A and B are shown apart, each in its own frame.
Chain A
Amino acid sequence: MMAMEVASSPAGLPGQPVYELLGVSKTFTRRNVHALDNIDLSLAEGGFSAIIGPSGCGKSTLLKIMAGLLSPSKGSVVLSGEPVTGPRRDIGMMFQQATLFPWRTTIENVVLPIEIREGKRAALAKHGDAKDLLELVGLQDFEQVYPNELSGGMAQRAAICRMLITEPTVLVLDEPFSALDELTRDFMNMELQRICLERNATTFLVTHSIPEAVILSDVVYVMSPRPGYIAEAVSVDLPRPRTLEMMIEPRFGEFVKRIRELLDKGAFL
């Protein structure tokens, strides 16, 4: 039942745990829902982890706790040695929807987190950084464009930039590309890997797709519902950088099969 030992990735990137959840439980007393039960998570620095599980397994509750939007009923959440008690600038979040605001140009959307935290002047001073980030994701020609002129994939790229503008140490991604078509999604996943490796970001991904979890992660946490708990942590020791071609390798298939079995065993299907 408990997490298997989390092996460090073969690339040797991940180091010390930076983000740790210890025995986190969450009960919503008013609705009498026991959402999470004794969750242990440890995200190694520069590592990529994914969590996968059926709908209603408490993933979004877990995410909100990790982002500091909810406090756990029991247990502790520690980032870089400090307990997480509220939203923090060193945690970057991204959702299924890009949620860009149509009255702001792309670059104004990207610097929004700075504007909120430090004011308009600081945001203006960050335009240089924002331009670098937009270039990183290939949107350098779209800085002054309004979001309704961006495609779905481009909007998500802009959302990546907005997440990175505060230079977070931990990235929490909630099915970031699931609203995109399959081809764009594969491509964006590889882009995500490139960006994470380049910036040595510690990344935590929530997904419904087993192949996506396997191709991106060093560790895949498999979650069971009611109450949500980590059924197993599967280490994926495919070499980095990962490529889409790896998805046809037998080793890749073995990981997918293993996770599939774990999910089936939970009998939530």
Chain B
Amino acid sequence: MTHPQKTVEKAAVRQTTVTESVAWIDRIPRSVAMVLLLVIFLLLWQLIYELRLISPIILSTPLETIYDLFYVGKNILSGEYMLVALWVTTKEVLIGFAMATALGFFLGLLVGETAFGERAVMPYLVAINAMPKVAFAPLFVSWLGFGIASKVALSAFIAIFPVIVGTAAGLHAADENELMLFRTMGATRWQTLVKLKLPIGMPHFFTGLKNASVLVVVGAVVGEFLGGGKGFGELIRVAASQLNTPRVFSLIIYLSFLGLATFWAVIWLQHRLVFWHKETVAEQSFE
């Protein structure tokens, strides 16, 4: 009679030991794992160089790139021409993002809240979204010139669609019960919008903003590639034409800081405003 009980006990013991022994790779702290992966990547890169698998003119060494990172960093920190260029691109990104957010929110409201918007405006938005938006860059240049305005327009144009979609999706996030509750309370359309639909749609709206925050940088840089100007994109173009690969890499890395900064700013705002909504890491990073 005691036999079955013993096996049960044994099984229980075994189970606890199983849950305690985490694979060694899962016990590495996140920061260490990230650094480790970077080191492996750099070593592989160096190895490719040592073995002369790719011509050094096309692919620089990691060391050259790191050295150039410091050079560009020093230039930016001492306020020289690269800081000026970075500031130009930052301005384009910030203004473009503000425009995409404001206009996207407005269009999202129109499409998500009104029957006219949903029936008449939405199909056009879908059609425009399907176009390769970068192809509009020459038009923006000819309309707005070689200055900052054409880059702002392109970045806002590229980034606006996720904001529209996020806003409109958010306005449809309230379920039947919630809408019915508001109707039984005698809520007006405005009250339903402000006190129910907008707050409940916040997570969707922020998903759109996060996508937009990355796309504005794309828009600004592509705008600079195609329309000249004094921004970081122009520096990259010049460096690439001189086959200065380390410089291209380090400029891209500094640009990615700009993208990350806007992205994190949105996430920070989301945590402040949408404190009730818990997301997974993947949702937070990509959606």
Contact = CB atoms under 8 A, between A and B. Distances in A.
A53 B186 CA distance: 29
Contacts of A54: none
Interface in A120-136: none
A67 B184 contact: yes
Given A116-B191, A146-B276, A148-B276, A99 B178 contact: yes
Given A102-B276, A103-B276, A116-B191, A97 B177 contact: yes
Contacts of A67: 184
B186 A69 contact: no
A101 interface: yes
Interface in B190-237: 191, 195-196, 199-200
Contact of A113 (B177, B178, B185): B185
Interface string B248-287: 0000000000000000000000000001110000000000
A8 B276 CA distance: 48
A115 B188 CA distance: 12
A86 interface: yes
Contacts of B275: 103
Contacts of A93: 181, 184
A91 interface: yes
Contacts of B189: none
A87 to B, nearest CB: 4
B187 A69 contact: no
A102 B274 CA distance: 9
Contacts of B181: 93, 95, 99
Contact of B177 (A69, A86, A99): A99
| Range class of the A interface residue count | 20 to 34
Contacts of A96: 177
Nearest to A87: B186
B43 interface: no
B231 to A, nearest CB: 40
A116 B180 contact: no
A233 to B, nearest CB: 26
A117 B123 CA distance: 37
Contacts of A97: 177
A89 interface: yes
A112 interface: yes
B183 interface: yes
B199 A116 contact: no
B182 interface: yes
Contacts of B277: 102
A267 B185 CA distance: 38
Contacts of B178: 99, 101
Interface of B: 177-178, 180-187, 191, 195-196, 199-200, 275-277
Given A95-B180, A99-B181, 19 more contacts: A68-B184, A69-B180, A69-B183, A87-B183, A87-B184, A88-B186, A91-B184, A93-B181, A96-B177, A97-B177, A99-B177, A101-B196, A101-B199, A102-B277, A103-B199, A103-B275, A115-B195, A116-B182, A116-B185
* A-B interface, 5 closest residue pairs, ranked by CB to CB distance from nearest: A102-B276, A87-B186, A116-B185, A93-B184, A113-B185
25 contacts: A69-B184, A87-B183, A87-B186, A88-B186, A91-B184, A93-B181, A93-B184, A96-B177, A99-B177, A99-B178, A99-B181, A101-B196, A101-B199, A101-B200, A102-B277, A103-B275, A103-B276, A115-B195, A116-B182, A116-B186, A116-B187, A116-B191, A116-B195, A117-B185, A117-B186
